[in-house]
Amino acid sequence: MGLAALLLWRGMLERTRPLLWALMLAFPFPFIANSAGWMVAELGRQPWLVFGLLRTADGTSHLVHPGQTIFTALGFAGLYLVLGLLYLFLVAREVAHGPAAQE
Amino acid sequence: MEMFWFWTVAVVMALYAMLDGFDFGAGILHLFVAKTDAERRQVLAAIGPWWDGNEVWLLAGGGTLFLAFPKVLAAGFSGFYLAMFLVIWCLILRGISIEFRSHLGDGLWRAFWDGMFALASAAMPVLLGAALGNVVRGVPLDGSGFFNIPLFTHWDVTNPVGILDWYTVLMGVFVLAALSCHGALYLAWKTDGPVRDRSRAAALRLWVATVALALAATVATARVNPDIYARLPHAPLAWLGLALYAGGLLAAIAGLRTGRDLLAFAGSSAFILGILAATAACLFPVMLRSTLDPAWSLTAYNASAGPYALKAGMRWWLAAFPLALGYFAWLGWVHRGKVEAGDYGH
């Protein structure tokens, strides 16, 4: 990124094809870093819900039936699957269109 | 201190209903008041700068409950588990509909997301109204401070109660009409051309429905929770709320008749804030009423966090609240004036 910034500043970035390839292939990394960061925070904390104070097993709602949580988890998974596919479709369409000639 | 936090929750929730209410109303009505694609975009541009910021007041309400009244939050979110998820899914679908529709020019694509937007916008007021109905009627809180409530039982307000009964459904329909009217008045104020004319016509009819349902809800509430009216003589803030309620309704129709759109919208805002303030003042200090035994109700005094949390939280709130209000005032200033047909930018 530092190298790319330097080249952009010197006005040479658009002619440095290997770096442009690397930048294009790097696009999933922010998403991966974001998700991985959440997973480190949430999974690394187990078995604590509040570290050192409250265990996850003690923090659950007694009156919520397990079937309800399965229902809502599946609901979220289904909703996000549909939205994720639509998102990919829209992004792919945007990429296929290419950049606007002149804004 | 507990009183300060009770009113903070009440004010944030009332502001949420008033603010997100107008974009729910706009969402419900856009199928009827905006016929062409350009008109639909005009409606979306009118609420565009507002709707996502408005939703944050709901988060602020939940966050305030978490900070000040954790027992109310724990009982409410466990007890209304599935209803809470319905609210979340409706809010997701609403936001997605607004964002996705403009990415394809295809007519079917746009019609689908417009329909989804209207559906999710209509479901939200019904859910919020039913939630208000449950708060007023009470829930089966037992001695443990928790409750478990089915979606419906025998449709009556006596035990065993369900989330839906004749009273909470009536409240849902009332809030649906009130927020539709609110949204129509907002669109009348912020748009011009055919959208404004149709919004004004819709607002007139919805105003009549709102007044009729408000009277029905007021009478029904006396039967469902007589404590509310017993407290009325001792709650001066409730009288202020009732004055806003009645004055707001009158200002709305006066503004509508004379074409003063801002007056009409301000009236409808005062009506929503007033009716919720009066309800809160008459419920105080009860936050979640128990239908089993009044001693098991969660109140501002037995459900609050410790004194340190309340005090530290208050310092942050007093700093943050003016900032949030200032942001909304600035937003209103930047987007003052009408959204004209063909002017989609925001």
pLDDT digits (tens, 9 = 90+) for B145-157: 888 888 888 888 8
Check pLDDT > 70 for residue B345: no
Count of A-B CB contacts under 8 Å: 33
Per-residue confidence (pLDDT) for residue B273, from 0 to 100: 92
Per-residue confidence (pLDDT) for residue A103, from 0 to 100: 44
User: Of the spans A78-82, B3-7, B67-71, which averages the highest pLDDT?
Assistant: A78-82
Here the tokens at position B69 are 């009244």
In this predicted model, what pLDDT tens digit does every residue of B81-115 receive, in sequence order? Answer: 888 999 999 999 999 999 888 888 888 999 999 99
Number of helices (H) and strands (E), helices first, in chain B?
A: 12, 2
Q: Among B217, B110, B234, which residue's Cα sits nearest to residue B173?
A: B217
Per-residue confidence (pLDDT) for residue B346, from 0 to 100: 42
For B14-36, what is the mean pLDDT? 90
- Number of Cβ within 10 Å of residue A36's Cβ equals 10
Specify the pTM: 0.87
B147/A contact by beta carbon, under 8 A: yes
Q: Are the C-beta atoms of residues B181 and B221 closer than 8 Å to each other?
A: no
CA distances from A80 to A84, A87, B39, B317 (A): 6, 10, 30, 34
B79/A contact by beta carbon, under 8 A: yes
**Set of chain B residues whose Cβ sits within 8 Å of the Cβ of A83:** 92, 96
Question: Chain A: nearest CA to B40, how far in angstroms?
Answer: 21
In this predicted model, what pLDDT tens digit does every residue of B65-89 receive, in sequence order? Answer: 999 998 899 888 888 888 899 999 9
Check pLDDT > 60 for residue B17: yes
Listed in sequence order, the residues at least 6 apart from A51 whose beta carbon sits closer than 8 Å to its beta carbon are A45
**Set of chain A residues whose Cβ sits within 8 Å of the Cβ of B77:** 61
Cβ contacts of A92-98, under 8 Å, gap ≥ 24: A93/B103, A93/B104, A94/B103
Report chain B's terminal Cα–Cα distance, integer Å: 41
Q: How confident is the model at residue B342 (pLDDT cuts 50, 70, 90)?
A: low
Distance from C-alpha of B156 to C-alpha of B32, rounded to nearest angstrom: 34
Check pLDDT > 60 for residue A102: no
A64, A80, A83, A86: best mutation site toward chain B, by most B Cβ within 10 Å?
A64
Beta strand segments in B225-270, E: none
More confident residue, B337 or B30: B30
Out of B103, B146, B147, the one facing A90 most closely (by C-beta) is B103
**pLDDT cut 70: percent of chain B above it:** 98
In this predicted model, what pLDDT tens digit does every residue of A25-68 receive, in sequence order? Answer: 888 899 999 999 999 988 888 888 888 888 888 888 778 888 88
Check pLDDT > 60 for residue A87: yes
Check pLDDT > 80 for residue B35: yes
Mean pLDDT over the full length of chain A: 85
Which SS3 state, helix, strand or coil, does residue B287 take? Answer: strand
Cα angle B334-B336-B340, degrees, rounded to a multiple of 5: 115
Half-sphere exposure of B341 (CA within 13 A, CB side): 14
- Number of Cβ within 10 Å of residue B242's Cβ equals 19
Check pLDDT > 90 for residue B121: yes
CA distances from B263 to B86, B254, B278 (A): 34, 8, 22
**pLDDT cut 90: percent of chain B above it:** 36
Q: Are the C-beta atoms of residues B298 and B72 closer than 8 Å to each other?
A: yes
For B151-171, what is the mean pLDDT? 88
Q: Write the burial class of residue A17 (CB in 10 Å: 0-12 exposed, 13-18 middle, 19+ buried).
A: exposed
Q: Are the C-beta atoms of residues B188 and B261 closer than 8 Å to each other?
A: yes
Whether A83 sits inside 8 A of B96 (CB atoms) is yes
Question: Chain B: nearest CA to A94, how far in angstroms?
Answer: 9
A50, A60, A68, A72: best mutation site toward chain B, by most B Cβ within 10 Å?
A72
